[in-house]
Amino acid sequence: MVIGERGPGWGVDFGVEGEIPADAVVAHSDVAAGRVVADARRAGRTAPPVVLTGGDLARTLGVASTSAESQPPAGAAGMRVAVDVGAALVDGRLHWFVAHLIARRSWWRGRLLVAANASFVGRWNAAPRSHPGDGRLDVFDADPPLRVRLAARRRLLSGTHVPHPQITQRRSAASQYELDPALDVYLDGVPAGRARTLSLRVEPGALEVWIPSPR
């Protein structure tokens, strides 16, 4: 599978065709896929394969979102991809995410920190060069004035809001941040509380994702 040419690692083969394993778990959202990872980590075991049918990570991988949650039939074919998982220490509490972490108080004022493993945040192409299998998170750190935020919002659908001189970008396998004032943290869109310290790292290729072949 070739999934675009947007940045480092894109435009190259990413994935292997095969038969979806019988123990694969269906996840129709980023939250569901992240929960599979978290449950496995806390139980001290390897996460099972995930059949991904929706969410921002799925969209990044070129999957048309569906609401299907049923197990694929025995012998169903698909594309296997090894995707990275983000791990975050949020004020010392360990969490995992598959698509993105966002720390903010408001979209319109104050600091905004985004750590992306997927390109999309809902309808927005927020991290257009982010690749879920390159062993890096694309991190955006900014506190621009309102006029810059408004201009960026108009460009988010197309991903042309970056680069911008008032938006710091870096690609990193591990990073740490002091959040002063404290920011609200969202993991794959789910609130994880307000935090003053944030440590991020990547678990490369930690989740086996299957994309069902069209029937």
Do 77 and 27 reside in the same domain of the chain? yes
More confident residue, 154 or 12: 154
pTM for the structure as a whole: 0.89
Do 111 and 153 reside in the same domain of the chain? yes
Into how many domains does the chain fold?
A: 2
For residues 69-86, average pLDDT: 83
pLDDT score of 67 more than 90: no
Residue 122 belongs to what domain range?
88-203
Do 26 and 122 reside in the same domain of the chain? no
Do 101 and 163 reside in the same domain of the chain? yes
Do 197 and 109 reside in the same domain of the chain? yes
Cα gap 15→18, rounded to integer Å: 10
103-130 pLDDT tens trace = 999 999 999 999 999 999 999 999 999 9
Backbone angles phi, psi at 66, to 5 degrees: -135, 170
Do 187 and 145 reside in the same domain of the chain? yes
Beta strands in the chain (DSSP E): 16-19, 25-27, 50-52, 77-90, 93-97, 100-104, 112-116, 137-142, 167-172, 174-187, 190-212
Do 161 and 68 reside in the same domain of the chain? no
Q: Are 71 and 50 in contact (CB under 8 A)?
A: no
Do 194 and 97 reside in the same domain of the chain? yes
Do 48 and 103 reside in the same domain of the chain? no
Q: Does residue 10 lie in a domain region?
A: no
Q: How confident is the model at residue 70 (pLDDT cuts 50, 70, 90)?
A: low
pLDDT score of 20 more than 90: yes
Cα gap 78→30, rounded to integer Å: 19
Q: Does residue 4 lie in a domain region?
A: no
